[in-house]
Structure 1
Amino acid sequence: MRYAANARMYSVNPQAAAAWKELFGWIARESGVDLEVVDHNFPLPLAELWARKDLACTFMCGYPFMLTGQRQRPVAAPIPANAPRKGQPVYATRLVVRAGSDFRSLEDTFGGRLGYTVPDSHSGYNALRHHLLPYYRDRKARLYGDSVGPLTTPRRVIDALLADTIDVGPLDGYALDLMLRHDENLRSQIRIIASTDPAPAPLLVAAADCPDEAVAKLQSALARVASAPECASLRDRLCLDGFAQVGASAYELMLQWEEEARSAGYAEPG
């Protein structure tokens, strides 16, 4: 059987997209699992991709992974080279502003315009809300004059910043690393003013009924990415140290963060 592979979440530019395609090709050869890199680009909903019955190696955000009714199978999660906990499959959200703005702290942006991606995103919504929750509790009022979204993708968050339609926005830290790796000009256009607590990174998933044998073969191949000499260039181009096996229990943290916010009456970041 042919299985679907997709890295839309981290195909943040043509260079990264090409590198992911190469890596999936290597994984297919190493594992013996027939992978087809499928296109599912914005504005197609990610939920439609994640509902496919032929998934075997497709990136999925951990938050909707925990919210879905029929849960996909965890395969592995990336270990970003710049992970907030070195050597672990975790990431954080970077809160960014325009480089030329006067904002020097997150508190400086309060009262302004906050961007977000989509409500079922961890990095662009759930982690953002968790980071803002202590400020909301302290002030007992909304923090921003306007919440702008859904912006959907990290690139569109940056575009909104540069177009001056938002003052601050959330970026998946690993996605930002990939953007900066392949676009040096971006470093002079945006500035990080805060980072959220680390959380488990988005994971590669397979469909719920994907055979155990296929999942095991993929996990074995993914474990070799970290040390395979032929993957050295790919690791560099993908800002990647390797992959680690993960279980669903690691992502319960995201539901805890959601419950904390909702219990405090802070359902929507803003």
Structure 2
Amino acid sequence: MNKIAALPMYNVSPALAADWHALLADVLRRVEPSADIIEPDDLHTFWRRPDLLLSQTCGYPYVLGLNEYVQLIATPEFDASGCDGANYSSVIVTRSNAPFDSIEACRGARAAFNSVDSNSGYNALRHTVAPYARDGRFFNDTLETGSHLGSLRAVAENRADVAAIDCVTMAFAREAYPELTGRLREIRYTCSSPGLPLIASKQVSPEQADALRAALDEALNAQPERARRLKLKGFSHLTAEHYDSIRQMENEARVANYARLA
């Protein structure tokens, strides 16, 4: 049975999806040419497959149990506002003409988020809001949109007032959808945490994991213009302990009696 791979997390536009696909294909050619690139319907099931050779996940699912099934291969370093090495943050946005100019001013507003298992869209926003919550509440309403682009559109279309957006996604969206992002403005950035890691099944051998890391560097350097479009500067090799800060963000919100975005 062939191994499988996919890079599903930053396909913000069709052009970016094509570049991520090409980068992945270059990596697989160097490591295991018979591997299949697929488009997974259920990411949580896909990430847990024992034949997973390479993919990318969010750090929040990783610390919530996915780490039992996968090993860390690398964490991308992006050239985007809000990134620092392998760390990233979320930018909290509102409409350009909205009255919100601080987190405190957002009390009673409507928040959009991509999914409850997102570090950038949910965990980071909850952590930022927690010190200002009262009796476990801060927002008047919340809306789950299914994606960061969906959250941006919800705010721009006045179906929500604020959203926290992965700063890398935001950088891509500014270039791909300037009419959409031009209707929004930034309130502030959240605290930073390790970026979205590239992962492989724990069934992948240490030798093949090292080969994947080498192939990622080679594929990046082989196409500098593609790397520029993907805003990729390089890759870090982080440990599981680095991602403990994401769990700590969750814990700090719970201690503040703000266990869920509300």
Calculate the TM-score normalised by the size of structure 1. 0.89
Q: Residues 4-15 of structure 1: matches in 2 within 5 Å?
A: 4-15=4-15
Check the 8 A contact 1:181/1:237 in 2, yes or no.
no
- Equivalent of residue 243 in structure 2, options 245, 251, 256: 251
Q: Does 1:221 find its partner at 2:215?
A: yes
- Residue matched to 2:185: 191
**C-alpha distance in 1 between matches for 2:100 and 2:226:** 36
- Residue matched to 1:266: 258
- Alignment gaps of 5+ in structure 2: none
1:129, CA displacement in angstroms? 1.0
- What residue identity is the alignment partner of 2:74? A
User: What's the Cα RMSD here?
Assistant: 1.9
- Equivalent of residue 120 in structure 2, options 96, 103, 123: 123
1:141, CA displacement in angstroms? 5.4
Check the 8 A contact 1:77/1:89 in 2, yes or no.
yes
1:204-230, Cα deviation, whole Å (9 max, x unpaired): 10012112222110011223355x2x3
- Residue matched to 2:72: 74
Check the 8 A contact 2:83/2:167 in 1, yes or no.
no
Q: Does 1:205 find its partner at 2:202?
A: no
Q: Does 1:142 find its partner at 2:137?
A: yes
Greater shift in the superposed pair: 195-204 or 28-37:
28-37
Q: Residues 230-241 of structure 1: matches in 2 within 5 Å?
A: 230-241=222-233
What secondary structure is seen at the aligned counterpart in 2 of 1:120? coil
Greater shift in the superposed pair: 105-114 or 179-188:
179-188
Check the 8 A contact 1:161/1:168 in 2, yes or no.
yes
What secondary structure is seen at the aligned counterpart in 2 of 1:10? coil
**C-alpha distance in 2 between matches for 1:107 and 1:33:** 52
1:161-181, Cα deviation, whole Å (9 max, x unpaired): 122111001111111112223
Check the 8 A contact 1:127/1:196 in 2, yes or no.
yes
1:82-120, Cα deviation, whole Å (9 max, x unpaired): 26354x111101111122323322332221101122222
**C-alpha distance in 2 between matches for 1:206 and 1:215:** 8
- Alignment gaps of 5+ in structure 1: none
**C-alpha distance in 2 between matches for 1:190 and 1:54:** 42
- What residue identity is the alignment partner of 2:235? F
- Residue matched to 1:155: 149
What secondary structure is seen at the aligned counterpart in 2 of 1:8? coil
What secondary structure is seen at the aligned counterpart in 2 of 1:246? coil
- Equivalent of residue 50 in structure 1, options 47, 51, 61: 47
- Residue matched to 1:90: 87
**C-alpha distance in 1 between matches for 2:3 and 2:170:** 28
Calculate the TM-score normalised by the size of structure 2. 0.92
- What residue identity is the alignment partner of 2:104? E
Residues 187/116 of structure 1: CA separation in 2 closer, same or farther (3 Å cut): closer
**C-alpha distance in 2 between matches for 1:240 and 1:191:** 25
What secondary structure is seen at the aligned counterpart in 1 of 2:257? coil
Identity of aligned residues (%): 29
What secondary structure is seen at the aligned counterpart in 2 of 1:75? strand
**C-alpha distance in 2 between matches for 1:123 and 1:213:** 32
Check the 8 A contact 1:74/1:247 in 2, yes or no.
yes
- What residue identity is the alignment partner of 1:259? N
- What residue identity is the alignment partner of 1:20? W
**C-alpha distance in 1 between matches for 2:125 and 2:97:** 23
**C-alpha distance in 1 between matches for 2:42 and 2:49:** 12
What secondary structure is seen at the aligned counterpart in 2 of 1:73? strand
1:140, CA displacement in angstroms? 5.0
**C-alpha distance in 1 between matches for 2:35 and 2:94:** 39
